[in-house]
Amino acid sequence: MKVKVTRTNVIRLWASKFSEVTIWLTKLQKKESSALFLYHFCEWAHKTPPELLALKEKDAKVSPPPNEVEKLLDDFCGQESDDFKNSEKYNVSIAVKSFFKHNYRDLAKASGVVDYEKVKDYNPQSKELLRRLWNYALNPRDRALIPFVTCTGIAKETLSNLLWGHLEENWESKDLPTIIIGSELLKGHGRGKYKGVKQITFLTPEAKRELLVYKEWIEEKLGRKVTAQDHLWLSTYKPYEPLSYAMLGNSIDTLSNKAKVPFSLHDGRRWINTALEGIGISTNWARKIRGRKVKGEEAPYSQPAVEQLRAKFRDAVPSLEFTSETPTITKEALERITALEKFKDSLTPEQRELYTKSGIKLRKKEHVSEPPKEDETAKDCANGEHCGEDDFKQIGENELLQHLKNGWRIAYKLASGEVIVRKS
């Protein structure tokens, strides 16, 4: 009985028989899927891969070329049959063109066009769903992987090749650790139009927290400290090999099914993209963070330093984090809050009310001065307060906070919305 060729056995039963196919597959990440799509086309056309290549070579000797392979591909993609869905015909066309390209017999770009419309909606996303998915993770690796992919936007192919050395030095002590990835691990692998592409992305506090737990756990499994050359994502059983592209997908699929939460690694990229759009980040900066090519016309004017990107990324952290209903308070934010709370304690009830209404946002870290002591030499005014050589100013409410920090006090609030302040 003839064994059915499937994704799991196509290379062993079919692809390995043809050197042309074997060489082609070494250049691809999705080997099994691509081999199966090419197999389907060959079976439909009743030709082997070498016969298809010979047909294209024969075209080159005739002028004008009959383009027989292109016409075969057009017929396959244009057929009205229940044997193949539109999405399957689309993938077959991509695989066939790739096979010919890597065997240096490119097919015409106009061939194999499929009117492919996305029918299935994207997976729903919310903090509640992601938290449920994360809570179902049974090991520190998966508990680290979920917040990692949703805050870095690193693609699945890159994840399988990511090393600990891609994290910035002393990342464990950084507020928002940076991950910088060169073009060789990104889409296009630095060739042609993808030359020079670089991904600069960051870990949220919760992603860093889970990665630290995972690092300690995997070091205990390995019986040694991880090095910069070690792969980041490893299997959870001996010999703790790096997770391949397929294994990463399978791990997420298993977790998704257990939690009954539809999720793929690509959904992680959608999550961060939504968060970046929410803070109004420029398209070019978002491309940097997601590891995409910066648009040519903008490239000369958009070379943001890591610290500039990190500062902008910080605004997206509240939207990105989901493992707890209470957002993570970073060390830097805690210092700012402590300083401002100390300042608030020194305000009068009237100043405190105005402070609350102003809707202060804790974004910039600023030096907080202690309220100055009253000048002992000052004289008493009619209302019992010290006057001395008081200096008065009329300012807008947007300037009020800074003046309060510097020791000014509210003297009178005008109907125009401006405030008169006095410094002792």
Is residue 305 scored above 60 in pLDDT?
Answer: yes
pLDDT tens digits for 165-177?
999 999 999 989 9
Which has the higher per-residue pLDDT, 394 or 370?
394
Is residue 377 scored above 60 in pLDDT?
Answer: no
Q: For residue 98, with 0-12 CB atoms within 10 Å meaning exposed, 13-18 middle and 19 or more buried, which class applies?
A: middle
Beta carbons of 352 and 343 less than 8 angstroms apart: no
d(Cα 91, Cα 7) in Å, to the nearest integer?
14
d(Cα 107, Cα 93) in Å, to the nearest integer?
11
DSSP 380: B
Average pLDDT over residues 236-260: 92
Round the average pLDDT of the chain to a whole number and report it: 81
Q: What is the pLDDT of residue 409?
A: 79
Average pLDDT over residues 407-422: 73
Is residue 108 scored above 60 in pLDDT?
Answer: yes
Is residue 299 scored above 50 in pLDDT?
Answer: no
Is residue 132 scored above 60 in pLDDT?
Answer: yes
How large a percentage of the chain has pLDDT more than 90? 43
d(Cα 267, Cα 273) in Å, to the nearest integer?
10
CB atoms near residue 227 (< 10 Å): 9
Q: What is the pLDDT of residue 347?
A: 61
Pull the structure tokens for residue 407.
Answer: 């020791």
Average pLDDT over residues 279-299: 73
Beta carbons of 15 and 21 less than 8 angstroms apart: yes
pLDDT range class, residue 20, cuts 50, 70, 90: very high
pLDDT tens digits for 340-372?
666 656 666 665 665 555 444 333 444 444 444
pLDDT range class, residue 294, cuts 50, 70, 90: low
Average pLDDT over residues 408-421: 73
pLDDT tens digits for 31-77?
999 999 999 999 999 999 999 999 998 877 777 778 899 999 999 98
Q: Which of 47-56, 110-119, 300-309 is least confident? A: 300-309
Is residue 15 scored above 50 in pLDDT?
Answer: yes
Average pLDDT over residues 181-192: 75
| Look-up of token digits 């000369």 | 300
Q: What is the pLDDT of residue 295?
A: 59
Which has the higher per-residue pLDDT, 271 or 284?
271
d(Cα 19, Cα 21) in Å, to the nearest integer?
5
Average pLDDT over residues 306-317: 89
Q: For the chain, list the domains and their CATH numbers.
A: 10-102 (no CATH), 127-320 (1.10.443.10), 332-423 (no CATH)
